Structure 1
Amino acid sequence: MVTQSWLYDAMIYMYALSLLFYFSDFARANRSAKRMGTGLLSFVWILQTVYLCMSIFGHVSQWALSRSDVLFLFSWLLVAISLGVNRFFRIELFVFFINVLGFAILALNIFGNPHVTPTLKGWNINDELLFIHITMAIGSYAAFTVAAIFSGMYLFLHRQLKEKQFSPNMMRLPSLEKIEEYTYFAIIVGAPLLLLALSLGGVWIALEGNKDLFWDPKVINSVFVLAAYTFYLFQHHSLRVSGNKLAAWNLAAFLIVVINFVVSNLVSGFHQWIWM
């Protein structure tokens, strides 16, 4: 059964959006975000159920499932388990991470399926996988850039207030509490986007069959970027670190992003496309 990839692309983006809502609920105890995440994930599960039934029904005379069916069934089960856990328990972080795994398996199944045809002429199916990977990575970089700007504003305003240097321009800035809230929100958007982008990058490498690419400087530095922002969230969520220290850490983390975007691409084995 040949299927146009845009159907799967829509499922992938919907899946990713549901995970952003789930992570937002974990980070900020946002019940409305949890309801949105649950609704989107439920719809993804329904779409998976319909496709899985059609696929298995299409070769009901065969006793063995294809590799594609097995992967799809595994992803479907992970989504079903996460929905059950979400319904009866409050373990948002478990739901998030089990669905990151389900997301990667679903992507591996879709883009490793020879019966899925690209939406655009002249592309192969891996080009679409790379497009989704790149859009998510760029989205995370944009969020980190916004967070860095807010952190710079925070440090500036904190210093001005500490030295009691008031000016009309300073009075137009948001309060320190608001700036910290905006920074935190940008990072809880950027961090899961980067994690999902890395998972798709891992799927692409697996499909390429070249395990050495996992040790590419760009890949390794991206892991450091994710670790830096994960530690920021840990400090904010669990350690209750002061706002000015968090802002300084966030700027240091953004420096790693800049290194990742500039230096790593110059020495990466397969990211030179950025400079073409």
Structure 2
Amino acid sequence: MLALALWAWASCAALAWAESPAPSVHWGAIAYPDKDRTLTAGLTVNRFTEFDGAGHRYNDIRETSGFNFASLSWTERLAQLSGWNTNLTVGAGPTQDGLTRFLQNDVVHKVRGLTPVPVGAKRHATDFMIGGSLTRWKEILGRQEDGFAGVGVASGSLYHELYAQAGLRRVSLPDSVPFSQFVRFSAMGRYGRLYGGSAFPTVAPQSYLGQVSVGVGNYQPEKDDQSSWEIELALTVDSGLFVDGKGNALEERFVSAAFRYSFVSFETWNDFVNQKDYGPTFGARLTVDLLHIYHAWRNGS
């Protein structure tokens, strides 16, 4: 059955990517929608820390959470509506402190010489988030389908959100600029209405999010070339998923870095630009493009 499904969805090789499962967008993950048909699987982790290294508490949430999601993301172009596509992204797994605590205290903080973050109560649960979106892609700056606008929903045991977003994806410089074929720029704005869930019963009523990024990569590979690659750096400003003790939204800023090669992608995001190190502090994900693998297998490469 899996082989038949992959055959039905198989397409030409492209940069391996996938939409992140919630709550990654509010932790700083690169959140642009997919343009091409994809079917990807991976592992995504996000960490919420109750305290910073000095023992200061983030807000009224009295536990630390390490979300460990196995994820599947499927984007399909709508044959009946040119320029439109849909996405379904699912993430689920055990919420346990061990993995993300090790990455934060024993890896990142130790390498950077920072004080380990103390941990009090810890969330133990099986959490999940399901997201779906509808996106319209259109030519904006003279390049094929470089602009997008769409709506979506994310819901599960953490929180619930209805959102709309619009932006530009992988816009190139003029051809007269040296190395323009290797550089791309992206930007988006997103507005969401938020509602509390089991893990986070009290959240901000709404979120305003802006994201900009620059990518360097092989954007014009030869036909049947399996070595497409990209390095992308992004900055995200979010009015905040969480609130303080008075109900005011807590603004967040994040940086993220992604590396994509052939059918594999790795991305990590962090709040160190805030200089606070508590609340939604960091995350990472590793994904593989199942359609890319199947396409390569069918063609014997």
TM-score band, normalised by shorter chain: under 0.3
Larger radius of gyration: 1
> Looking at both structures, which has the greater relative contact order when contacts are Cα pairs under 8 Å and sequence separation is at least 6?
2
Higher strand share: 2
